[in-house]
Amino acid sequence: MAFNLGRRRRKFIYLAAAAVFLFGCVFIMRRISSSEVEDEEEVRKSKITRDWERYLDPKEYLKDLMKRNRTLNSTFFDFIEQEEKKEARLRKAGKAVVTEEKATTGDVNLELLAQPPNYSVHIFYYMWYGDPSKNGNYVHWNHKYLPHWDPLIAKKYAKGTHVPPEDIGANYYPALGPYSSKDPKVIHNHMKQLCRAGIGVLAVSWYPPGKADDQGGPPDTLIPLLLEIALMYNLKVTLHIEPYKGRNDKTLHEDVKYIVKTYAEHKAFYKHKHKDGRMLPLLYIYDSYLTPDADWAKLLKPQGSHSIRNTEYDCIFIGLIVKATHKDTILIGGFDGLYTYFATDGFTYGSTWRIWPQLSAYATQTGTLFIPSAGPGYIDTRVRPWNSQNTRSRQGGEYYKKSWNAAISVKPEIISITSFNEWHEGTQIEEAIPKQVSGITYNDYTPEGPDYYIKLTKEFVKKYQESQNK
């Protein structure tokens, strides 16, 4: 019995030892496997970081971006989510430090993404700025002084161009300095500001490929990059088509074909529900009244000679109303709606707040959209020094509040804002800072902070949202 018991004990010990050995092998293999996975994960993270931090040439990378869009965007969000969780743990432990460098890079804050934007709030956005590091020289910040049409008045005012970075063609000075619109870090910063404001759609000043305004370069080359970055913030992009030389119904037909073919299928390109239920691109046509009503009808009426209606290129077209007679242009020309643009109460018929109830009623009667444009004020005397009579003081934000209240009161389907960054005309809500240099004192938002109008916009977007939900 004792012998058998000893054999059993030895057998048990051998089995236990074998089990421990096997367990150890499994543990070591799992550690090795885990280490390999972690190494692969670090490589993946590093690749994604390199992909998004490098400066892209939009024209050269357009096809590559389109191919990689869906996959890269999802993996980027996975990476960001992991990094945010890690930072949250460090912050909880009192170890997290947010640097100025990180605040200006392309890192996406999940807290921003958790706040859904309001796609019924559109803002006019400009990508015509440049600086020496990205463009070789300053663009638009060195705006010319525009002469008055009366030579006797013109000779009383300054001539020439501004000389950045201290002297820029604006009455306010941007917190980012005189930046380049092609800098991805700048675009990321702008998207963050828009997210904080609750705005959902950027209406980007646009010229067809190869065309531009007199002061800058072709903005179409930057649209692919803007779409990619806007997508990361759940923002949408549409186009504000400028009145380039020779624009008419036929050239716009070709423009729309290009826009739809090139951008309309991108997830970040804005589409609006048409009254017949279709989801269509919505396009703003600036200075639409420059083309005769009858010519617009050829394109925008179903019976037009080269009608775009009920084709694959059909869109929702919004025309500008400046004079009372432009209502007829909207109706006869076949537009789907009207907007007011100017941030100057009383400057035009369309931008006069007390007229908005009439325009809203007109739109209801004609089955069109009325999109009023709220704005924080207006001042352009550093590009049009003779135009002080059209200045609209911000009044510490009171002017902006009044314009928003006027817009909300007519219960529009969409409200537009003029503007995010039209610095030349002083309509920007982008962050601005106090600045004084030799002979120049820039306006600013004091006693409030640089982001005052971003915060104020957020308040009114919320108020508008509440009115929509009633």
pLDDT above 60 (res 66)? no
**Confidence at residue 217, expressed as pLDDT on a 0 to 100 scale:** 85
Residue 20: pLDDT band (50, 70, 90) is low
pLDDT above 90 (res 377)? yes
As a whole number, mean pLDDT of residues 403-415 equals 99
Q: Identify whether 129 is part of a domain.
A: yes
Q: Identify whether 350 is part of a domain.
A: yes
Supply the CATH number for residue 314's domain. Answer: 3.20.20.80
Q: Is 390 exposed, middle or buried (0-12, 13-18, 19+ CB in 10 A)?
A: middle
Residue 44 CA to residue 75 CA, distance in Å, equals 9
The three-state (H, E, C) secondary structure of 227-273, written as one string: HHHHHHCCCEEEEEECCCCCCCHHHHHHHHHHHHHHHCCCCCECEEE
**Confidence at residue 107, expressed as pLDDT on a 0 to 100 scale:** 56
Domain boundary at 53, 76, 91, which? 53
Q: Are the C-beta atoms of 384 and 437 separated by less than 8 Å?
A: no
Q: Are the C-beta atoms of 336 and 316 separated by less than 8 Å?
A: yes
Q: Are the C-beta atoms of 262 and 271 separated by less than 8 Å?
A: no
Q: Which domain holds residue 136?
A: 119-469
As a whole number, mean pLDDT of residues 335-350 equals 98
pLDDT above 70 as % of the chain: 76
Residue 13 CA to residue 11 CA, distance in Å, equals 5
Q: Identify whether 97 is part of a domain.
A: no
| pTM (2 d.p.) | 0.79
As a whole number, mean pLDDT of residues 426-446 equals 97
282 membership: H or E segment, kind and range: strand 279-285
Q: Identify whether 98 is part of a domain.
A: no
**Confidence at residue 77, expressed as pLDDT on a 0 to 100 scale:** 46
pLDDT above 90 (res 92)? no
Which of 452, 397, 404 has its CA nearest to residue 430?
Answer: 452
As a whole number, mean pLDDT of residues 232-251 equals 98
As a whole number, mean pLDDT of residues 197-203 equals 99
Residue 426 CA to residue 414 CA, distance in Å, equals 23
As a whole number, mean pLDDT of residues 147-151 equals 95
As a whole number, mean pLDDT of residues 210-223 equals 92
Q: Are the C-beta atoms of 126 and 170 separated by less than 8 Å?
A: no
315 and 396 part of one domain = yes
Residue 174 CA to residue 163 CA, distance in Å, equals 15
422 and 305 part of one domain = yes
As a whole number, mean pLDDT of residues 94-100 equals 36
Residue 382 CA to residue 144 CA, distance in Å, equals 9
Residue 316: pLDDT band (50, 70, 90) is very high
* pLDDT tens column, 257-301: 999 999 999 999 999 999 999 999 999 999 999 999 999 999 999
Q: Identify whether 87 is part of a domain.
A: no
Q: Which of 42-51, 182-191, 236-245, 261-270 has the lowest mean pLDDT?
A: 42-51
Angle at CA of residue 461, ends 459 and 464, nearest 5°: 110
pLDDT above 60 (res 442)? yes
Q: Which of 65-79, 199-213, 285-299, 362-376 has the lowest mean pLDDT?
A: 65-79
Please, which residues have CB within 8 angstroms of residue 458's CB and are 6 or more apart in sequence? 196, 197, 198
Average pLDDT over the chain, rounded to an integer:
86
Q: What residues pair up with 272 in beta bridges, in sequence order?
A: 280
**Structure-derived torsion over alpha carbons of residues 346, 347, 350, 352, reported in degrees to the nearest 10:** -10
pLDDT above 60 (res 246)? yes
372 and 246 part of one domain = yes
Residue 214: pLDDT band (50, 70, 90) is confident
37 and 136 part of one domain = no
178 and 38 part of one domain = no
pLDDT above 90 as % of the chain: 73
41 and 151 part of one domain = no
**Confidence at residue 48, expressed as pLDDT on a 0 to 100 scale:** 37
Domain boundary at 53, 79, 94, which? 53
Residue 41: pLDDT band (50, 70, 90) is very low
15 and 128 part of one domain = no
Number of domains into which the chain is organized: 2
Instruction: Tell me the residue type at 278.
Output: R
38 and 127 part of one domain = no
pLDDT above 50 (res 342)? yes
196 membership: H or E segment, kind and range: helix 184-197
Which of 305, 234, 321, 219 has its CA nearest to residue 270?
Answer: 234
Domain boundary at 53, 69, 90, which? 53
**Confidence at residue 109, expressed as pLDDT on a 0 to 100 scale:** 61
190 and 307 part of one domain = yes
